[in-house]
Amino acid sequence: MTTAAVSELLEVNLGPQHPSTHGVFRMQATLDGETIVALKPVVGYLHRNHEQIGEHATYIASFPFTDRLDYFCAMSNNLGLAIAIEKLAGIPVSERGDYLRVIMAELTRLVNHVAVTGFVLNDMGAFGTPLLYAFRERERILDLFEACSGSRMMCNYIRPGGVREDVPEGWLNRARGVVTNFPRFLDEFELLLTDNEIIQQRTRHVGVLPKELAVSASVTGPLLRASGVNYDIRKVDGYSIYPKFPFKVPLGAVGDVYDRYYVRILEMRQSVKILEQALKEIPGGPAISPKGLALVKAPRTFRPPKGDAYGRVEAPKGELGFYLVSDGSPIPYRYHVRAPSFINLTVLEDMCRGQKVADAIIILGSIDIVMGEVDR
Amino acid sequence: MALVGRGVLAGLGVTLTTFFETYPWGRAVLRLMGRQHTNGVVTIEYPDVKQQHAERFRYFPFLVYDKEPDNLRCVACKICEVECPPQCIHIVGPAKDEQGRPLKPKGRPYPVEFDIDVSICMSCRICVDVCPFDAIEMDNNYELSDTDRFGHLVYNKEQLLRPNEYFQQIKPTEASVVDQRLAAKHAKAAAVPPAAGAPPPAPPGPAA
């Protein structure tokens, strides 16, 4: 006599208001016991019409809105739009402006990676400690941002042709201090986390993203590199002055949550190298080219020639692209954002299938999404 | 791995060190052990202790006047109103007489109304960047919360006015640059004799 266990599938909504979902985001999970059979990400709760607003505002007026896309990485977002506008209208960048932009972009990478590492640990159940350690360091860099741009997170600092205004006196020395001390914090952070057996148990071989799937889903950023694909736009495009800096692109082997965590730690170490070199070599001179300055002062007189341009940068989360179509007026005809968070999110179901519910939370955390960018 | 749990213990060592860093006696212990340490507590208790903000810290715009509130620098050209990304500035003006000519009590037009909506402003500083007269600047007062969201969140001209001395006090570096620029502008305007029918030259600028 045998009794077959009767099992039914259970649908569970994780989110949209849930502390583990990183913003207003819903995961419609179908469960067989504890195991995820299917998972549907539901987005759109934070849609703010970013692209439509961009098509009704001048090119410069879109900059403060890009700060609010991925609000952890305002500087990288500014840089992406600035590069697209420079391509569209052929605006030269001043040399010092170029260096300042690279410094800001790399500081942003530190801010983002340190925060996301803390958040993943929070999702794993290590409440508080790693996140607050991470935020303690993040705050030092945000203070630098405040000193140069006037705002910690909504910087609105980088402009086509350079940066809006030069950094204040003594800022570079302060930045050197922060950058010099950063590896010490990274060592401490790694001592706290990397070899921790609980973290290893929770993250190894969890949420594996195969190389082929990652490439075919056009996933970018640390998520792609953790799967072992050597693709970094800083190297591929060599935009701005990145070719001047010798840095390595860290790669993962398995593509699990642990690799994603560790690739980010290694990337931060490379960013520190870039920053040290940039802060050493930064030249004097104007922080913005004359053409760029004219654009800052009078946004409505700027009429780029008819045509289109796609500018992309290696944002901390992946390839951030801005596509602009100009019809010769001061307002773009089409303004499109290729948001890395949104496209990286599309592989969520493939990574979660067959995993436990608790793992889905850390897989989501390890993708590193910001809803402001996913929904736009 | 030689010993399972070594990683956890090492991590606990880090938290313990941080715990020691938080107290003066703990820092003394760390020094005795020959360990480097930071100063521990990085948080402040906000309403009682306030953070020192950077000079460039920006929050909400204000209108600058020289010496007396009537003598504001704004000429109601409405550039900031047009360029403001969230469209939170509302200007009526310039003030006109019966024949429709702009009134110039101080040698230049002035706005009849100048309102900024606190709840819409996103502190981007574009109004300051585009203003050709240095008439609008960013304040660093961030405690603007109010209990009346309909009555008190739209700031009118009187609420936005601040003397140039206030600007010099909160942002000395930026203010000195602006003052020098304005002084040079006025000197240039005074050097060129006004053409027939042209408005009289603007009054002398602030003491730079």
Of the candidates B8, B42, B54, the beta carbon closest to that of A197 is on B8
In chain A, what residues touch B42 (CB-CB under 8 Å)?
136, 139
The distance of A87 to chain B (nearest Cα, Å) reads 23
pLDDT at A82: 92
3-state SS of A134-193 is: HHHHHHHHHHHHHHHHCCCCCCCCEECCEECCCCCCCHHHHHHHHHHHHHHHHHHHHHHH
CA distance A321 to A314: 9
Scanning A224-283 for CB atoms below 8 A from B yields: none
CA distance A205 to B199: 78
Q: Choose the closest CB to B56 out of A58, A149, A184.
A: A149
* B56 with A300: Cβ contact below 8 A: no
ipTM of this predicted structure: 0.78
Q: Which residue has the tokens 């860093």?
A: B21
B89: helix, strand or coil? strand
Chain A CB contacts of B123 under 8 Å are 151, 154
What are the pLDDT digits (tens) for B83-96?
888 888 988 878 78
Secondary element (H or E) of residue A275: helix A257-281
User: Min CA distance, A295 vs chain B (Å)?
Assistant: 10
Distance of residue B55 Cα from the nearest chain A Cα, in angstroms: 7
pLDDT for A57-66, tens place per residue? 888 888 999 9
Q: What is the mean pLDDT of residues A218-233?
A: 89
**Whole-angstrom distance, CA of residue A163 vs CA of residue A99:** 10
Distances A78 to A131, A205, A373 between C-alpha atoms, Å: 26, 36, 13
pLDDT of residue B206: 47
Which residues of B are less than 8 Å from A136 in CB distance? Answer: 42
Contact with chain B for residue A198, Cβ under 8 A: yes
Nearest CA in chain B to A57: B85
CB atoms within 10 A of CB A238: 11
Q: What is the pLDDT along chain B (208 residues), one digit of tens a residue?
A: 456 778 788 888 888 888 888 888 888 888 888 777 777 777 888 888 888 888 889 888 998 888 887 788 888 888 888 888 888 898 887 878 878 787 777 778 888 888 898 888 888 888 998 888 888 988 888 888 888 878 788 888 888 888 888 888 888 888 888 888 888 888 888 777 555 444 444 544 444 4
Mean of pLDDT values over A214-226: 90
What residues in A contact B58, CB-CB < 8 Å? 150-151
CB-based contact, A32 to chain B, within 8 Å: no
- How sure is the predictor about A200, in pLDDT bands with cuts at 50, 70 and 90? confident
CA-nearest of A270, A234, A233, A235 to A250 is A270
Cβ atoms of B138 and B128 within 8 Å: the answer is yes
- Between positions 310 and 339 of A, the ones with CB within 8 A of B are none
CA dist list (Å): A115 to A98, A108, A200, A205: 26, 11, 20, 23
A156 chain-B contacts, CB cut-off 8 A: 124-126
As beta bridge partners, residue B90 has B115
- For B128-168, what is each residue's pLDDT tens digit? 988 888 889 888 888 888 888 787 888 888 888 888 888 88
Task: Determine which of B37, B125, B131 to mutate to test the interface with A (most A C-beta atoms within 10 Å).
Answer: B125
Structure tokens at A196: 């921790």
Phi, psi of A40 (to 5 degrees): -115, 115
Instruction: Name the minimum distance, in Å, from the CA of B97 to any CA of chain A.
Output: 30
Q: Inspect the interface and report whether the beta carbons of B124 and A156 lie closer than 8 Å.
A: yes
User: HSE-up of B133 (CA within 13 Å, CB side)?
Assistant: 21
Pick the CATH number of B61-187 from 3.30.70.3270, 3.40.718.10, 3.40.309.10, 3.20.20.70: 3.30.70.3270
Domains of chain B, residue spans? 13-42, 61-187
